[in-house]
Structure 1
Amino acid sequence: MNQLLEIRNYQLLPASTARFHQLMEEAALPLLQAAGMEVVFYGPSLQQDDAYCLIRAYRDVGHLQRSQAQFYESEAWRNGPRNAIVALIVSYQNVAIARQSFQN
């Protein structure tokens, strides 16, 4: 069972949400999954224009670190969708929480 959630919120360039979503869905998502990350949610914000959310789940901090290293250091990411995706991001915020934090 995954014990950690990572929530990443992106602020995107104006009018780039549809393109960002397409790149996420078609190019980045398969790479994230291949690196061992469970993508719980990805999609545009319902409350804020040009904002996007990605939620990933991990077994523990070690799993987060290993799978992110595998993903971000991979040739498939670096030579694939990386430049197109990064070019659309103005900023992002990231938080990781333990399952105990969101379980009653």
Structure 2
Amino acid sequence: MILEFRTYRLKPGSTADFLRVMGEESIPLLESAGLRVIDYGRSLVAEDGREEAYLIRAFTSLEEHERQEREFYGSEAWLKGPREDIVSRIESYHTIVIETSEAAVATLRRA
């Protein structure tokens, strides 16, 4: 399994709206496109006092990761959907991709 951790440094005061749009629009859209969302939310620690959030997704391979991301982020559903409401609140983001077991992925899944 491939596990992707994405962290977002958010613009001041935008965390609540970012997480609302993520939960109500972006996550359902990701899942309807076949992407496996494991968890998302607010970081418990704000580095340098900055607001931060995260998204964790799982893929069966690096090739699937690349294909699904390319197709999703190029889709009309994303581009004409929640994209602007998400992107406009992000100051920067960072992604880490690791290889792990299905058991580890299951452990991380939000109940």
User: Do both proteins adopt the same fold according to a TM-score greater than 0.5, normalized to the shorter chain?
Assistant: yes
TM-score by length of 1: 0.90
Aligned CA-pair RMSD: 1.5
Which 5+ residue runs of structure 1 have no aligned equivalent?
none
- For residues 32 and 50 of structure 1, the distance between their equivalents in structure 2, rounded to whole angstroms, comes to 23
Structure 2 runs not aligned, ≥5 long: 105-111
| Aligned counterparts of 2:70 and 2:80: Cα–Cα separation in 1 | 15
Q: Which amino acid aligns with 1:35?
A: A
Conservation of the 8 A alpha-carbon contact between 1:11 and 1:50: yes
Q: In the TM superposition, what are the counterparts of 1:1-104 in structure 2 within 5 Å?
A: 3-48=1-46, 49-99=50-100
Letter in 1 for 2:79: R
Q: CA deviation at 1:37?
A: 1.3
**In 2, Cα distance between the equivalents of 1:35 and 1:98?**
22
TM superposition outliers: structure 1 runs of 4+ over 6 Å: none
CA deviations over 1:20-40 (Å, ceiling 9, x no partner): 001101110011112221111
Q: Is the CA contact (8 Å cut-off) linking 1:35 and 1:68 kept in structure 2?
A: no
